Structure 1
Amino acid sequence: MITGQAETSEAYDVAHPSEGGLDIPRAPGHWGPLGHLPLLRHGLLSTLAELGAGAPVVKLQVGAVTKYVVSDGDLAQEILGDKRQAFGRKRVIRGFRPVTGDGLLSLESREHREHRRILAPAFGRLPLARITPLICEVASEYAGRMFSGPSSGPGLDLDLDLDLEMLRLSADITVRCLFRSHTDQETVSWLATKAAPLSKGVLLRMLAPAWSPALPTPEFVARRRATHRLRQVVADLPARHMPAEGGDDVLSLLEGAACPARGPARISRAAVVDELVTLLVAASEATAVTLAWAWHELARHPRAEQAVQAEADAVFNSGRSLPEKLLEHLPLTTKAVMEVLRLYPVPVLPRNALREVSVGGFRFPRGAEVLINVYGIHRDPGHYPQPHTFDPDRWPSDATPLALSSAYLPFSTGAHRCIGAPFAALIAPIALAALAARFQLRPAEAGRRVRAVPGVVTRPNRLIMTASPRVGAGIGAQRVSEQPPAT
């Protein structure tokens, strides 16, 4: 019976010891049959931030469903690392498999390890160093196209749907730099347009009951058609492949593993498409959202924006060839990207307990639905003073997005850590600097609040910004030194 008052006080229940460890306390704000639904009235992200500032792990009841929300970095590391064999990924697999097939995001155990071994060389230091000039070229071409249309030109501003524009750029970078293939700009635009609806479908399948995403709603039908078209586009990429000199680009590695002429095939032809779809969806959306949020935050923080512009000018507007180790010349831009990844990460990582297991002294029952609260961990005031504030200076000068700590998990950790993390850590600062050297962005609607919404990634609800060419900034591409990277 609902009495109008919460059943518990606003303090967390006391954890009680049991044979397998401490029972996990219930989150505050439980309202009878409604469970914790009132706690969610301000949205999932607000709830995750609130839980992140509370107990390390709590039970959250939504109707008849109980979730175990882990908001402590050390516990998250244990679940994703040392105790990973005790936890499954059925909701992650359910979410991604209809789009990505049997790609890395949907694989477990031996198949997952084999696919990672095949793809890993593409994300090594030398292959990524070799694609740095191409990243700069693609970003510069994009900047040139922005101000070459009939409604643009010198002295003219341009209103942009930034989420969509950054998806166009990141999809182009992924196809041309990571896959070493090519597709026309119309197809790139299509990929960008369909990425958000597909992402929403993944989130629905991850969080909803198993049967609900199969209902033939108009949204379901549209997502299924978009998925079919996406797989057609990706299946055509090998025909336009321009292999890297070392043969260590993604497409070369996948094609080689599927080729029976080189010995027993390690993967099927269908698996090649699955992995290309997986990497395209994951890399494009994650990078696009990072860049969109970076522009939003820089526009709100002039000091950080000026620091990024100064670095960009020194590198891209100097009239000299770009240096080989480009990222070392962009430390402030890299810190800005790190701060964006902290504020707007993948909000949750779902896991399910395959057996009763103790983590950090807490007992998780068999079948427990676990949500690793990355959003809350990244905003833990115990680790980050003023956690909701964009402050790139909180990071040391030599920091990189790949630096692992229990309170910083932008790419997850353990066996399922994002294989493309080195690629993402490279392209986001370079693309941001390459564009910042050429134009400045300001909100198109002054005073309009941009709201963060949960998805597979934390994305802006609608981000319309006005791009203005910077005085004296060049639009043409500069080239990186063609010398091979040092070994």
Structure 2
Amino acid sequence: MRLQFGAVSKYVVSDGDLAQEILADKAQAFGRKRMIRSFRPVTGDGLFALEGPEHREHRRILTPAFSRAALARVTPLICEAASEHAGRMPSGTALDLNHEMLRLSADITVRCLVRSQTDQETVSWLATKAAPISKGILLRMLAPAWSPALPTPEGIARRRATHRLRQVVADLPARHMPDAGGNDVLSVLEKAACPARGQAPLTRTSVVDELVTLLIASSEATAVTLAWAWHELARHPQAEQAVQAEADTLFNSGRPLPEKLMEHLPFTNRAVMEVLRLYPVPVMPRNALREVNVGGFRFPSGAEVLINLYGMHRNPASYSDPHTFDPHRWAANTSPIALSSAYMPFSTGSHRCIGAPFAALIAPIALAALAARFQLRPTDPRHRVRAVPGVVTRPNRLVMTAAPRAGAVIGAQRGVHEQSPTT
């Protein structure tokens, strides 16, 4: 679909094969100027805001933190954080699921990626400020390049929140508890040598830039995935019961958690994959750096391209009954990371989300850990939850009440610290 705004042409792409060409096969013909302009005021020169050799180098530096071995060592921390969060969740009280899941995901992200304990007051602050900071990123993404940054009260508050966020992140290294293998994010950043700087270590600012980038990306994306998962499970009792059955086997058995944890969560994993299909990042903007032919269609130089993941993931040509939550459609697949071009919740190509394996691990485990303890139901069944597009696709207002489940074992993550799980 082509849209014309004055002299600027915008193209909306909802076809998976075309998206694959733009994001991967012919990625060098497309830039990311809108994304860079949108994220840089928050993330500085973190991975989101880098291109070319610098992007490749920073990605190389960070890759060990997301290796199979590194992720195996964070699995106990995910279980620990989720179980502790379940212990703090009040039963019988209306909960803002967006905020509740942001608190959980921020806590997990800091523990796993930085190996730093953060007090719950700071975690709550991070959850409260994530939405306005994200909104600022979205507004910059949508605004014309020439539009001024007007000093509105809302804009001033967002800039203050961003400044405070960077201060909070800059303080994390003081509480750093390095991973035994030296492959947590902070460890790999602190020991990295950058060829662009004559093999000198990364500056303190560069380290903070990357930590802020990963904290924002992981926390918000995981939170909305979990929030939508609870929404869909409440509407689909059979799927909810299947998740609960797997959760009970792991967290309510009274036994230590098994090493290969994800092997015991096949349906929960499929439920998360289906949530990622229905509620992905809505769009990914690109700009044509030169005239380029994609799938027989010519994009002129300077054209702005919007990859419509939301539409692509609900395309009836790719999915039967595309608007229905159906985890069984993924029965033949075990990973949301490498599937067909019709499914790319983590993007694809050189800018595919580096934390995709981490995200694919957090959501099923956290969902199961909470499902072992609680059943969540909408506080007002008459309220219609709507998807609100932004940097992520979030529920407009999701208020639910947690009811304790019979047979839940308090502290059921016993023995998790002694395990060395593999994923």
Does structure 1 residue 146 correspond to structure 2 residue 89?
yes
CA distance in 2, matches of 1:196, 1:67: 27
**Alignment partner, residue 141 of structure 2:** 206
**Alignment partner, residue 81 of structure 1:** 24
Q: Is the 8 A contact 2:288 2:299 kept in 1?
A: yes
Shift of 1:62: 5.1
1:385-396 pair list within 5 angstroms? 385-396=320-331
Shift of 1:478: 2.6
Q: What is the percentage of aligned positions where both structures have the same residue?
A: 79
Q: State the AA in 1 paired with 2:239.
A: A
For 1:465, what is the secondary structure of its paired residue?
strand
Spell out structure 1 runs of 4+ moving beyond 4 A: 62-65
**Alignment partner, residue 67 of structure 2:** 124
Q: After alignment, is 208-217 or 421-430 more displaced?
A: 208-217
1:445-464 pair list within 5 angstroms? 445-464=380-399
For 1:307, what is the secondary structure of its paired residue?
helix
Q: Is the 8 A contact 2:75 2:421 kept in 1?
A: no
Question: What's the TM-score, normalizing by structure 2?
Answer: 0.96
1:91-170 pair list within 5 angstroms? 91-147=34-90, 156-170=91-105
Q: State the AA in 2 paired with 1:392.
A: P
**Alignment partner, residue 479 of structure 1:** 415
1:23-422 pair list within 5 angstroms? 58-61=1-4, 65-147=8-90, 156-212=91-147, 214-257=149-192, 264-422=199-357
Does structure 1 residue 440 correspond to structure 2 residue 375?
yes
CA distance in 2, matches of 1:295, 1:223: 29
Q: Is the 8 A contact 1:258 1:272 kept in 2?
A: no
Residue by residue over 1:88-113, the C-alpha shift from the partner in whole angstroms, topping out at 9 and shown as x without a partner, is 00000011000000000000001101
Q: State the AA in 1 paired with 2:63.
A: A
Q: After alignment, is 445-454 or 265-274 more displaced?
A: 265-274
Residue by residue over 1:52-111, the C-alpha shift from the partner in whole angstroms, topping out at 9 and shown as x without a partner, is xxxxxx202357653101111011011111111100000000110000000000000011
Closer, same or farther: CA 213–475 of 1 in aligned 2, 3 Å:
farther
Residue correspondences, number: 420
For 1:214, what is the secondary structure of its paired residue?
coil
The root-mean-square deviation of aligned C-alpha atoms, in Å, is: 1.7
Q: Is the 8 A contact 1:442 1:466 kept in 2?
A: yes
CA distance in 1, matches of 2:104, 2:128: 12
Q: Is the 8 A contact 1:104 1:275 kept in 2?
A: yes
Q: State the AA in 2 paired with 1:132.
A: T
Closer, same or farther: CA 234–388 of 1 in aligned 2, 3 Å:
same
Closer, same or farther: CA 325–435 of 1 in aligned 2, 3 Å:
same
CA distance in 2, matches of 1:163, 1:376: 23
Q: State the AA in 1 paired with 2:356.
A: A
CA distance in 2, matches of 1:486, 1:367: 46
Closer, same or farther: CA 356–221 of 1 in aligned 2, 3 Å:
same
Shift of 1:160: 0.5
- Structure with the bigger RCO (C-alpha within 8 Å, sep 6+) is 2
For 1:204, what is the secondary structure of its paired residue?
helix
Closer, same or farther: CA 79–267 of 1 in aligned 2, 3 Å:
same
Q: State the AA in 2 paired with 1:78.
A: E
Closer, same or farther: CA 243–388 of 1 in aligned 2, 3 Å:
same
Q: Where does structure 2 lack aligned partners over 5 or more consecutive residues?
A: none
Q: State the AA in 2 paired with 1:91.
A: R
Shift of 1:158: 2.0
CA distance in 2, matches of 1:483, 1:439: 25
Partner residue of 1:424 out of 359, 366, 387 = 359
Shift of 1:257: 1.6
CA distance in 2, matches of 1:176, 1:279: 12
Q: State the AA in 2 paired with 1:301.
A: H
CA distance in 1, matches of 2:403, 2:146: 48
Q: Is the 8 A contact 2:337 2:344 kept in 1?
A: no
For 1:236, what is the secondary structure of its paired residue?
helix
Shift of 1:266: 4.4
Q: Is the 8 A contact 1:133 1:479 kept in 2?
A: no
Shift of 1:486: 6.8
Q: After alignment, is 97-106 or 138-147 more displaced?
A: 138-147
CA distance in 2, matches of 1:136, 1:380: 35
CA distance in 1, matches of 2:420, 2:134: 38
Residue by residue over 1:337-362, the C-alpha shift from the partner in whole angstroms, topping out at 9 and shown as x without a partner, is 00000000000000000000001111
Q: Where does structure 1 lack aligned partners over 5 or more consecutive residues?
A: 1-57, 148-155
